[in-house]
Amino acid sequence: MCILFLKFDPRPVSKNAYRLILAANRDEFYHRPSKAADFWDSSNEILSGALVTNFLTTDLDSFSYLKKVSSEGHLYNGFNLIAADLNTTKGDVICYYGNKGEPEPIFLNAGIYGLSNCLLDTPWKKLQYGKQLFTEVIKQSQDLANEDLVQELIKVLNNQDPQLPDPAIEDQGKEYVLPILNKYAAVCVRCPGYGTRTNTVLLIDAEGRVTFTERTMLNADINKWKTSTYQFKLQT
């Protein structure tokens, strides 16, 4: 169970506005091996968490790549992909594809979106509640310093208020989720041995300046975390 919120504004009217704001949680078994996000090689051109890399190393644009993925979508268990082309001559473009939904990817219009263990903007209560909290922070974004905005978004990602009852989440989880439903139905999941182990915040401002912040659990200990921040400017 992971969760993601994003605001996309390809043409911000103010220099203090953001073209893209993304906040996401990775929920996983605490002891499962993983690597923190980092630059992949000496070229410092790819910053990611060692998962989906094909798009970052291909020459295809976001829609063409997701179109290619969609042709093989039936071969995999359920997944969602969001891909973006930023700072291009055509402007900013973000596309989405979920292999349990429409057969082809779609372009996202400017707006605020949420994604969890279902298709984009599926109205699970935890997703709707988190999207509401995210939206409230977004409204303040132009008045907050960059680092303060990051911290406010991390607060959203660590909200543990259960959003119940929610028949949709119960139906998807079936009997497995019932013993932990009170924890599972929150933006931040805290169960024995499983839950939110990474918070990620990505900001891209009107000038193309990028702030990437990752807060990662250390040694499967919910009281120990490491925060890493990378800042750079998009290439034209």
Please indicate, yes or no, if residue 105 is contained in any of the structural domains.
no
Query: pLDDT tens digit string along 57-93?
Result: 888 999 999 999 999 888 888 899 999 999 877 789 9
- First CA to last CA across the chain, in angstroms? 35
Q: Over the stretch 188-218, which tens digit does the pLDDT of each residue have?
A: 999 999 999 999 999 999 999 999 999 999 9
Q: Look at residue 172 in the predicted model and tell me its pLDDT.
A: 83
Instruction: Write phi, then psi, for 123 (nearest 5 degrees).
Output: -80, 55
Tell whether 136 is covered by a domain. Answer: yes
Per-residue model confidence as pLDDT tens digits over 122-133: 999 999 999 999
Query: What does the pLDDT average to over 113-117?
Result: 95
What is the rounded distance in angstroms from the CA atom of residue 158 to the CA atom of residue 25? 9
Q: How many CB atoms lie within 10 A of CB 224?
A: 10
Number of domains in the chain: 1
Domain limits at 139? 3-39+110-233
Geometric angle at alpha carbon 202, from 182 and 233, rounded to 5°: 175
* pLDDT value at 33 more than 90: no
Evaluate whether residue 131 is within a structural domain: yes
Nearest to 35 by CA among 46, 23, 48, 54: 48
Establish if 82 belongs to a structural domain. Answer: no
CA pair distance 141, 38, nearest whole angstrom = 26
pLDDT reading at 42 higher than 80: no
Written as six digits, the tokens of 135 are: 């939206």
- Among candidate residues 73, 57, 62, 94, the one with its CA nearest the CA of residue 202: 94
- Structural domain contains residue 183: yes
Does 49 fall in a domain?
no
Q: Is residue 96 part of a domain?
A: no
**Residue 216 forms part of a structural domain:** yes
| CB distance 88 to 96 below 8 Å | no
In sequence order, what DSSP letters do the residues of 127-187 get, joined into one string? Answer: HHHHHHHHHHHHHTGGGS-HHHHHHHHHHHHT--------HHHHHHHHHHHGGGHHHHTSS
